[in-house]
Amino acid sequence: MGKTIVRAVDSGNIQRSPTFQAIFNFYFSQASDSPFQITFDSAGIDVDKIMENETPALKKLSILDAGLYYDLIEGKDKDLAEELIYTWFHFKEEEIPDAQKTIITDLYAPYKTAIHTIQMKFRNEALIEAGIPESFLPDMRVPFRHDEHLKLILPVEMPVVNKVEKYYQTQEADIEIPQIILYGDLVGTDPLPDTLKGGMETARRQVEYFMETRERGMGIFKTLVMAEGEDG
């Protein structure tokens, strides 16, 4: 039976999907008698846009709001961030003037990595606290790319499902599209929303989400991999 990749996908590959990756790779590594060769990885469907500062203005405002929450934005930039959030956060994307979107982008761009890094820091601390060794902790902001060994894609929320499906609509026709299943649907629970603030409390909640569902998930993954092997 060949290599199989099971991949969790979120927006930026900073908190939720890497948490899945760390937990499932660690616990699968403990099952030394398993006949299956499964690699659990993760990716962000919006990472390319994040790195090019092309995400929607409202998403950038959410990140800036997290930056204020974590005291990462100071001085005049803090004043500007507060003003932009107060002014535009409750508007629709298409209602924000282009000139204001440019101001938002110019403020967001130099702060995004610091904000993402502190979110990753809390994620890693929560994973270590839950008993996951440091060697299993992933990096962040891995962009989604197809892999020939990718058999199962697990978006963490419905908007990500739609974006993954759209991604495959742009790929070559001869690509074998993996199964795409909302993780919550697979294990019988609610989707995991994107929470940008909250520090360790948020990180612990995300770790708990996957810890509580990992046994159900692992059993389903093994069944799917076995079926894949029989079909192959």
- The model scores a pTM over 0.75: yes
Tokens of 89: 């956060």
Strand pairing report for 150-155 and 179-180: parallel
State the DSSP code for 144. Answer: P
Residue 195 has pLDDT above 60, yes or no: yes
Does 76 share its domain with 16?
no
The domain of 67 spans 54-108
Tokens of 101: 């979107």
Q: Which amino acid is at 88?
A: W
Where does the pLDDT of residue 231 fall: very low under 50, low under 70, confident under 90, or very high at 90 and above? low
Query: Percentage of the chain surpassing pLDDT 70?
Result: 94
Beta bridge partner(s), residue 8? 42, 154
Where does the pLDDT of residue 221 fall: very low under 50, low under 70, confident under 90, or very high at 90 and above? confident
pLDDT (tens digit, 9 = 90+) per residue, 121-174?
999 999 999 999 999 999 999 999 999 999 999 999 999 999 999 999 998 888
Does 35 share its domain with 64?
no
Where does the pLDDT of residue 37 fall: very low under 50, low under 70, confident under 90, or very high at 90 and above? confident
The pLDDT score that the predictor gives to residue 230 is 57
175 in a structural domain? yes
Tokens of 196: 């940008």
The pLDDT score that the predictor gives to residue 222 is 78
Integer Cα distance of 220 and 187 in angstroms: 8
Mean pLDDT over each residue of the chain, to the nearest integer: 94
Does 151 share its domain with 198?
yes
Number of independent structural domains in the chain: 2
Task: Between 33 and 130, name the one with better pLDDT.
Answer: 130
Tokens of 197: 């603030």
91 in a structural domain? yes
Integer Cα distance of 147 and 166 in angstroms: 16
Does 149 share its domain with 227?
yes
The pLDDT score that the predictor gives to residue 225 is 72
The pLDDT score that the predictor gives to residue 217 is 92
3-state secondary structure 145-207: CCCCCEEEEEECCHHHHHHHHHHHHCCCCCCCCCEECCHHHHHCCCCCCCCCCCHHHHHHHHH
Does 151 share its domain with 36?
yes
169 in a structural domain? yes
139 in a structural domain? no
Instruction: Flag the least confident range among 1-5, 146-150, 193-197.
Output: 1-5
Lay out the sheet containing 4-10: strands in order across: 38-44, 4-10, 150-155, 179-180
The pLDDT score that the predictor gives to residue 33 is 64
- Residues 45-65: b if buried by 16+ CB within 10 A, e if exposed: bbbebbeeeebebbbbbbbbb
Does 79 share its domain with 96?
yes
Does 159 share its domain with 219?
yes
Handedness of CA 16, 17, 23, 26 (dihedral sign): negative
pLDDT (tens digit, 9 = 90+) per residue, 66-107?
999 999 999 999 999 999 999 999 999 999 999 999 999 999
Q: Are 229 and 151 in contact (CB under 8 A)?
A: no
Instruction: List Cα–Cα distances, 87 to 83, 128, 136, 166, 173, in angstroms.
Output: 6, 39, 42, 32, 45
